[in-house]
Amino acid sequence: MIHPTRTNLLKLKERQLAVHRSLAILKARRQALISEFLKLGEQFVDRHQQLSDLYARSLLELQEILRQEGDNSLAAIAAATSKFKGITTQPGNILGIPFLTILPADQLPRTTEERPFTDFLHENSLSHAVELFEELSMAIIKHADLESRVRRLSLAIRETTRVMRTLEDRILPRQEQNIARIRFFLAEREREGQFRLRKFKQLQKTI
């Protein structure tokens, strides 16, 4: 329990002002996070559609290549192809929020020299199909990178909202109650002091 003194009342008012300032900063930050989230969210939806379209085109091209080259030929080409190294990550930052940028571990799409076949021995659609799947791999990585940023922003918005609600629903009301209680106590004490002073003056007049 806070002792009801004028010094403590001033301290409480200063703390209350600090909370209001913190809330203003948090609201501005939350608004900035939401704006960035909406911007990246729009990109995410667009890229998701592009990814779906590219995936459908790649499957159609694969079916055509299977018809032209046959399963055994494609299996041999796949076995001779150097395996994709996967992904790598780099630290990034967006509005003060750390995240990992997801990048391919090797260059995509690959050059003709990096592929285990020559175009003049195969149908032209083979190179096109390979390029499509390499583009698809790159698109998936970029989509995962964007999704990672969207998720980090979503978590940051939820955390900022949680802190704001704690300040608004718990801290500020408690401070208001303490300030009101101390003000009431000080006002009562002042009235009591004035009453005693009047009584004292009346007593002096009777002497």
Question: pLDDT tens for residues 70-104?
Answer: 778 777 777 766 777 778 889 988 888 988 888 88
How far is residue 23's CA from residue 26's CA, in Å, rounded to a whole number? 5
Question: Which residues in the chain land under pLDDT 70?
Answer: 1, 80-81, 112-125, 207
pLDDT of residue 83: 72
Measure the N-to-C terminal CA separation of the chain; round to a whole number of Å. 44
How far is residue 139's CA from residue 50's CA, in Å, rounded to a whole number? 9
Question: What Rg do the C-alpha atoms of the chain give, in angstroms?
Answer: 35
pLDDT of residue 1: 67
Sort residue 100 into left (φ over 0), alpha (ψ -120 to 50) or beta. Answer: beta
Helix (H, G, I), strand (E, B) or coil at 99: strand
What is this structure's pTM? 0.76
Count other Cβ atoms within 10 Å, centred on residue 132.
20
How far is residue 30's CA from residue 39's CA, in Å, rounded to a whole number? 14
Where are the chain's structural domains? Answer: 6-198
Out of 2.70.70.10, 1.10.287.3240, 1.10.3720.10, 3.20.20.140, select the CATH number for domain 6-198: 1.10.287.3240
Which residues does 163 contact at the CB level (< 8 Å), separation at least 6?
26
pLDDT of residue 40: 94
pLDDT of residue 112: 67
pLDDT of residue 114: 66
pLDDT of residue 117: 60
